[in-house]
Homo-oligomer: A and B are copies of this chain.
Amino acid sequence: MADLESLGKYETAWCPGCGDFGILDAVRDALVKLDADMHKCVFVSGIGQAAKLPQYMNCNFFNGLHGRSLPVATGIKIANKELVVIVTSGDGDIYGEGGNHFMHAIRRNIDITVIVHNNQVYGLTKGQASPTSDLGFVTKVQTHGVISEPVHPLGLAVTLGAGFVARSFSGDKEHLSSMIQEGIKHKGFSLVDVLQPCVTFNKKNNFVWYKQRVYKLAADHDAHDKHKALEKALEWGDKIPTGVIYQDGRPTYEDACGLMKDKALIGQDVSSPSRIAPVLEEFL
């Protein structure tokens, strides 16, 4: 069972002051609070600063390709639904390179929890715009500032019917930890988009910028009302809502699929080639 010590301490490759540390802390906190059986958890990530997170814990992990964490996580969960699958990804990783998988993983409602370190920039490759960069954000590549409308990840997720859509802030460990816990507890696809300052490459959306804008959703926010949720999901500017924006209870992929009702796929017996003898008959 998870405790901070057994989760281990690793030297990281992050810059001092990076919001990623706050996310790592919150993830660890959430695992401890959930008393997670770490041997049943698998962390999946792509490539980017964010994606390095699993490297810094004692855990099972699959640190795959840039942008491709979601299909890997989907495959793992389908093969063994007993595993708790947690994805840690960056805004470039998941809304840029991996955008198509984001759309379709949500549609499947596979029961995984996705934590996006959204620093509105490409950190590891040294500061180009990401799909969530604000309009006008100037970089060495976007020398005239970003001209593409930023994606609204939460809006997209609600529109696509994600089961659990939340936002938090790396500077608020407690809130973030609770969002992650709720995400993991939710049965189905859970998105926790985390506002995360990149101290090195995003001088605009820095800690203070976020701090001044984030607010917690009112207690009476109805997370089950899709259209209300959409409104909140698209809110961005002087005020940025955090909390569970949308929640829905449609069946998960694992339940709907029907092939793993009683047992995880890998628990089912396929060890004898002769089991297919009846099929061969069909070809006679």
Contact = CB atoms under 8 A, between A and B. Distances in A.
A143 to B, nearest CB: 10
A107 B250 contact: no
24 contacts: A96-B104, A98-B100, A99-B103, A103-B103, A103-B156, A106-B149, A107-B148, A107-B149, A107-B150, A108-B148, A109-B148, A144-B258, A147-B251, A147-B253, A147-B256, A147-B257, A149-B160, A149-B161, A151-B160, A155-B159, A159-B159, A159-B230, A227-B230, A227-B231
A278 to B, nearest CB: 18
Interface in A120-151: 131, 144, 147-151
A213 interface: no
Interface in A67-113: 96, 98-100, 103-104, 106-109
A263 interface: no
Interface residues of A, number: 34
A264 interface: no
Interface in A213-243: 226-227, 230-231, 234
A202 B106 CA distance: 24
A109 B226 CA distance: 26
A261 interface: no
A193 to B, nearest CB: 14
A261 to B, nearest CB: 12
Contacts of A156: 103, 156, 159-160
A152 interface: yes
Contacts of A152: 159-160
